[in-house]
Amino acid sequence: MSAEPAVPTAFVVGWPIAHSRSPIIHRHWLAEHGIAGDYLRLPVPPDEIGGFLRGLAEGPYRGGNVTVPHKEAAFAAAERHDPVATALGAVNTLWLEDGRLIGGNTDVAGFLGNLDQQAPGWDAAPGPAVVLGAGGAARAVIHGLIGRGFAPVFVVNRSRDRAEALAERFGPAVRPAGWEDLPGLLPGARILVNTTSLGMKGEPPLVVDLAPLGADALVTDIVYVPLETPFLAAARATGRSTVDGLGMLLHQAVPGFERWFGVRPTVTPALRALVLADLGVTA
C-alpha cells in the first residue's frame, strides 16, 4: 500500500512524457475551482508499465491519463471499460471504482467536443467523410464521425494494411483507401480530417490539392503545433471552414477531471490561451 498523498492526485503516464501539457490543463482547473489537488507527469518505460498499472488499485492516485505508447497496455490492465474504450481497444483515462481499475477513452469526446465548440452545427447534415491516417488518433476520429452519422468514412493511409484493419474493427461504414484515391474522394466529402503527423513542427507538411473538395466542407487537423498547420492554412485560404487541433487536447481532459475531482470543468478561452502560451504558439 502506497502512502496517501497530501491531496487528491491524478497523473499522466507515458514514455516520454516531458512534453505533455496535461498538467497545465488540470492544474488550471484545480485552481479555478479552488480544489486542493495535484496532477503529475509520470515517465514510465514500456517494460515497467504493466507493474505500474497493476499497482494502481492499491493507491495512492485517484486515477490518471494514459498516453503514447501505453494506451493498449492500459486497456489490458483495466478490469472494466467504458463503451468507447471497448470500441477502440485503447484506454486514455483510468479511475478507481470500489478498488477496481476502470478504463475509459475520452479521445472521441475530445474530437467531437472541439468541433461542437468551434464549428457549431458541423454535423447537421452528415455524409461522407475522409480521414487521413490510420493510427491511434484515427480510431477515435472514425468512431466519433460514425457516431454522428457520417458514412462512408474513407480512411486514406500510406500503409494500406492499417486502413484495412480499421475497416475490420469498425465495419462496412469504413472504406480503406490510398493517397492516390484522394482526388476522387474529396468532391463528396462533408468533412476532411488529418490524423497523420504530417504538418507537425519538425515534420514535412501535409500537401493536399483541395480544389476538388466542396466549398462547404469542414477541414480539421489533430496537429496543434503549429496551431495553424500548412494544411489548415491552405484550406482557410480557399475560404473553407477550419478547426485546429488544440481543442481536442483540451476537451479530452474534461471527463477525467470530473471523475477524479468531482467537478465538470469547462474549456474556456483563458485555458486555451494558457496552453498556447506554454507551447510558444501565437493564436
Please enumerate, by residue number, every residue annotated as part of a binding site for shikimate. Answer: 20-22, 67, 92, 107, 224, 252
Mark whether 201 is an active-site residue. Answer: no
Q: Tell me which residues in 178-237 interact with ligand ATR (CB under 6 A).
A: 195-198
Q: Tell me which residues in 153-182 interact with ligand ATR (CB under 6 A).
A: 157-159, 162
The answer to whether 201 touches 221, Cβ cutoff 8 Å, is no
Q: Is the CB of 196 or the CB of 229 nearer to ligand ATR?
A: 196
Catalytic site residue from 41, 62, 71, 190 = 71
Q: Is the CB of 90 or the CB of 267 nearer to ligand ATR?
A: 90
Q: Is the CB of 110 or the CB of 133 nearer to ligand ATR?
A: 133
Inter-axis angle of helices 107-118 and 136-147, nearest 10 = 60
Q: CB of 165: closest distance to ligand ATR in angstroms? A: 10
Q: CB of 204: closest distance to ligand ATR in angstroms? A: 6
Stretch that binds ligand ATR, among 37-45, 78-86, 127-135, 224-232 (CB under 6 A): 127-135
Q: Is the CB of 179 or the CB of 216 nearer to ligand ATR?
A: 179
Stretch that binds ligand ATR, among 57-65, 107-115, 134-142, 226-234 (CB under 6 A): 134-142
User: Closest residue to ligand ATR, Cβ-based?
Assistant: 135
Known binding-site residue numbers for NADP(+): 133-137, 222, 245
The residues annotated as belonging to the active site are: 71
Instruction: Report the interface residues with ligand ATR, using CB under 6 A.
Output: 133-138, 157-159, 162, 195-198
